[in-house]
Amino acid sequence: MTRYTAATDADREAMLGAIGVASIEDLFADIPSELRLDGPLALDRERSEQEVCAELRALAARNASTEDELSFLGGGMYDHYVPALIDSILQRSEFLTPYTPYQPEVSQGGLQAMFEYQTAICELTGLPVSNASVYEGPSAVAAAGYVARHDNRRRRFVVSRGVHPHARETLRTHAHAWGMEVVEAPIHEGRTALPELDEDCSAVIVAQPNFLGAVEDLAALARAAHEVGALCIAACDPLPLALLRTPGECGVDIAVGEGQTLGNRLDFGGPSFGFFSTTEALVRRIPGRIAGETRDLEGRRGFVLTLQTREQHIRRERATSNICTSQALNALAGVIYLSWLGRRGITELVELMVQRTAYARERLEAIDGITAVHREPVVREFAVALQCSAERVIARCQAMGVNPGYPLGADYPEHPDALLVAITEQRSRADIDRLVEVLGDAVAGELRASAARVGV
């Protein structure tokens, strides 16, 4: 093969012959035909670069952001204020440009950032060990399941329906490859109702708060798991942990979650990072990397990579992760954000969310045609059921510049016309009053239209 140019036709034929296939198309045979492009990509090759850029800008302008509409969307991604301090540090070349430190001890600044990040996550979760981040929230849940599987060699996961739908789907995908069964525990009046567990259960996986916004009794769920020798895994929203009992205090073995709320913008869905913390008993099974603190020969503080369990660093059969990124830059944003807030600031932020969420919940439940999905305590979001089409109500609200929340019907058929409404510090009392006005009018209008359609 040539050294500095792309592979030649002869190179490709040699590689295909070595792996025993006749053509490149054979490598994609398992992809359904309806998902494959049958022909060349339709590109207008007559356009100049300037014209292409202009069209791409026009396409991008069709997107709506939280700067364009008043949004109460949540469901795992939240519109929090990101201070200018974060960009000013992230954009320093020392952090922005480096890749994985293959000679890590010469990258003391990067290692210290990892160490400080791990410390912050341990303080949030109440668990003694954290890695230097993982890819994102759903894959963190799957990674935790893998740790449980290796720890006790059992064959079943019991996962709450209150865990994020994407995380449950990711877990099922991985579990299929491991030959494991995934059983869903139902939600009863807002909280997880565990089925009877047995000695085949590898882990009980729950969310805190759950996807419907309810605060779970983590201690009771952890006890139920431990009674049959299973692990308890909690997928946590990190900010509410400033007020709630930490997973560690509740006896949880592994706490994971989505870190987007910690100093990362929505950015149309990514990138972000996942966090992973656990007990000392499971430290050798934790995925990714752990940065440690030490002293050099002259007694000066220094940092090292204490543990690496990615398959590019150790034998594949011993690796606990094959995802070759830890989203370190996004995780750095997380620790900058937590440092900027401080212990007092994060508590005040969550208290503010609790107060505004309670106000919004009370105001919305007073509207005719809107009822609570559950009455459990909530922190930042809550679910309400509409007595009319949620999709039509959302369309009416969006026409008024308000996105009232996330429709639950696609993920929870038992709640076909319910909305998940999220509140952050970005939503003021006046914003909530605007939501109440617009959503109330939309529900009333849709109820009248529904009555007219059936001839009442």
Residue-wise pLDDT for 115-151, tens only, equals 999 999 999 999 999 998 898 999 999 999 999 999 9
Would you identify the CATH topology of the domain 346-453? Aspartate Aminotransferase, domain 1 (3.90.1150)
Give pLDDT tens digits for 303-334.
988 887 655 556 666 666 666 677 889 999 99
Mean pLDDT, to the nearest integer, of 283-308?
Answer: 88
Q: Mean pLDDT across the chain, nearest whole number?
A: 92
pLDDT bracket for residue 110 (50, 70, 90) = confident
Mean pLDDT, to the nearest integer, of 391-395?
Answer: 96
Residue % of the chain over a pLDDT of 70 = 93
d(CA 209, CA 216): 6
Mean pLDDT, to the nearest integer, of 380-400?
Answer: 96
Burial of 228 (0-12, 13-18, 19+ CB in 10 A): middle
- Where b means 16+ CB within 10 Å and e means fewer, 196-219 reads ebeeebbbbbbbbbbbbbbbbbbe
Q: Say yes or no to pLDDT of 1 above 50.
A: no
- Stated length of the chain: 456
CATH classification code of 84-338: 3.40.640.10
Q: In the chain, list all ranges with CATH 3.40.640.10.
A: 84-338
More reliable by pLDDT, 104 or 373: 373
Q: What is the pLDDT of residue 2?
A: 55
Q: In the chain, list all ranges with CATH 3.90.1150.10.
A: 346-453
Q: Say yes or no to pLDDT of 69 above 80.
A: yes
Q: Say yes or no to pLDDT of 456 above 60.
A: no
Match 């998940």 to its residue by tokens.
Answer: 420
